[in-house]
A = this chain, B = another copy of it.
Amino acid sequence: MERPRHQGMAKNTYMRWRLPLVCLLWEVAMIVLFGVFVRFGPEADAHWEEEKREMNLTSDIENDFYFRYPSFQDVHVMIFVGFGFLMMFLKRYGFGAVGFNFLLAAFGIQWALLMQGWFHSFKSGKILIGVENLINADFCVGSVCIAFGAILGKTSPIQLLIMTLFQVTLFAVNEYILLDLLHVKDAGGSMTIHTFGAYFGLTVTRILYRPNLEQSKDKQGSVYHSDLFAMIGTLYLWIYWPSFNSAISDHGDAQHRAAINTYCSLAACVLTTVAFSSMLQKKGKLDMVHIQNATLAGGVAVGTSAEMMLTPYGSLIVGFICGIVSTVGYVYLTPFLESRLHIQDTCGIHNLHAMPGLIGGIVGAITAAAATEDVYGKEGFIKAFDFTGTYQTRTPSVQGGFQAAGIVVSLLIAFAGGALVGAILRLPVWGDAATENCFEDDVYWEVPEDEESDVYHMHNPDKPASP
């Protein structure tokens, strides 16, 4: 049974030919480009035995696969289950949250393998991939999932695919500028993933501003069960964030350290989130929105510095601050951004990713600037910041300056890119829903009739059955 209002809706959300066309054409393009460019890296290629001999490795366990695959799988869970379920809090947008996240991420990782490959793994005309590339592709898509959070419920799947195409491209460019040109450290992506992704998404949602969005206000909330589904996303993001921040760090102490720092920051963040969630509600009750989101800010904010000698108590301090900033953001800043700046941020990514991402960039710059050979050891110092070759003479304070520059570059590319992509998405041909149908799965999905007379009332014989 179709609800009447859809029959009279102003916008054409009919996806039947447009969506398949985009999906099929783009996937064909991926196949062609992969065919031309992508090959197995030496550790995944059948010539590995020879490689091993050349590199003087005595055991298969030295294959990068065993250093990084467990972390990769944790990151993979975060992207598909973590983000997908976190966005499931809306009462009637669960299919869209998890399903569109699935779609855009599945496309995005392919395009990211190519884009990042051209910049970072290109050798003799081929992109040579291994497990580290898979992690980086997931990371890149993570920034798209973040941006998706801002426009959740208000865009068509085609718009999401278009945004993914552009955002992945710009992500790779920004990442190249930061990591290669500025020689900036950002293992957990406070700048490249969170700051970039969030301000990109906020710019897009600003441009897609819908003046009458309160028409669908009744569907912007959660129901009891949707909040529980969202907690699956929260917990998996929280649990696996140490893997995220350590996944592409150097082998050995750096991975180990990044995991510990992140673990500490996240733990502290939970306590200040709870404190401020209770403090800012007049009856002192906790708000699931804060628990679902602000508890994660500590992971975002050590994304740059986790692999450095931030130390466990330094991490606690960062987590402490970010739980507060993020929770306060949800209570005061999100309404302000919506009413004054016309930024309609469905999931509050400004509080979870943008501000903590900025803090993370700054913490990273400070931690780098404060590095000494005494703390790191002579070898550790060089290894941690890769002060070799051209960068042999770079000092910590200069590194700190470059780190800060990385924040600025990420912001600029996010704003410019978001404006461009927002403008493209405004074109009236992509099939986004009418404002009164936002946050409603029924527009793009076959939604089962819940036949609640059968399911929910089955034990209630006194109630007459619905016709």
B80 touches A235 (CB 8 A): yes
- Contacts of A195-252 to chain B: CB distance below 8 A: 218, 221-225, 227-229, 231-232, 235-236, 238-240, 242-243, 251-252
B316 touches A110 (CB 8 A): yes
A295 touches B102 (CB 8 A): yes
A375 lies within 8 A of chain B by Cβ: yes
A240 touches B61 (CB 8 A): no
Contact for A275 among B24, B264, B375, B447, CB less than 8 A: B24
The CA-CA distance from A102 to B290 in the complex, in Å, is 13
Which stretch from A180-188, A305-313, A357-365, A414-422 is at the chain B interface? A305-313
How many whole Å from A160's CB to the nearest CB in chain B? 11
A345 lies within 8 A of chain B by Cβ: no
Which stretch from A40-48, A143-151, A400-408 is at the chain B interface? A40-48
- Contacts of A417-464 to chain B: CB distance below 8 A: 444-463
Which stretch from A266-274, A346-354, A390-398 is at the chain B interface? A266-274
B455 touches A91 (CB 8 A): yes
Q: Which residues of B contact A20 (CB under 8 A)?
A: 274-276, 278-279
The CA-CA distance from A228 to B231 in the complex, in Å, is 13
Number of chain copies forming the complex? 3
Q: Which residues of B contact A218 (CB under 8 A)?
A: 451, 454
How many whole Å from A3's CB to the nearest CB in chain B? 7
Most buried by B among A134, A320, A458: A458
Q: Which residues of B contact A40 (CB under 8 A)?
A: 253, 257, 260, 309, 311-312
The CA-CA distance from A114 to B71 in the complex, in Å, is 26
B98 touches A46 (CB 8 A): no
A444 touches B31 (CB 8 A): no
How many A residues have CB within 8 A of the partner chain?
155
Which stretch from A171-179, A335-343, A379-387 is at the chain B interface? A379-387
Q: Which residues of B contact A384 (CB under 8 A)?
A: 46
Q: Which residues of B contact A61 (CB under 8 A)?
A: 61-62, 66-67, 251
> If the complex has contacts A61-B66, A223-B455, A231-B98, are A80 and B239 also in contact, measured as CB distance less than 8 A?
yes
B15 touches A99 (CB 8 A): no
A303 lies within 8 A of chain B by Cβ: no
A260 touches B129 (CB 8 A): yes
Q: Which residues of B contact A67 (CB under 8 A)?
A: 60-61, 66
Q: Which residues of B contact A295 (CB under 8 A)?
A: 102, 106
B459 touches A43 (CB 8 A): no
Q: List 17 A-B contacts (CB under 8 A).
A: A15-B284, A15-B286, A20-B274, A27-B271, A31-B316, A34-B316, A35-B313, A46-B375, A49-B380, A50-B380, A65-B252, A65-B255, A99-B288, A106-B267, A110-B267, A227-B448, A285-B444
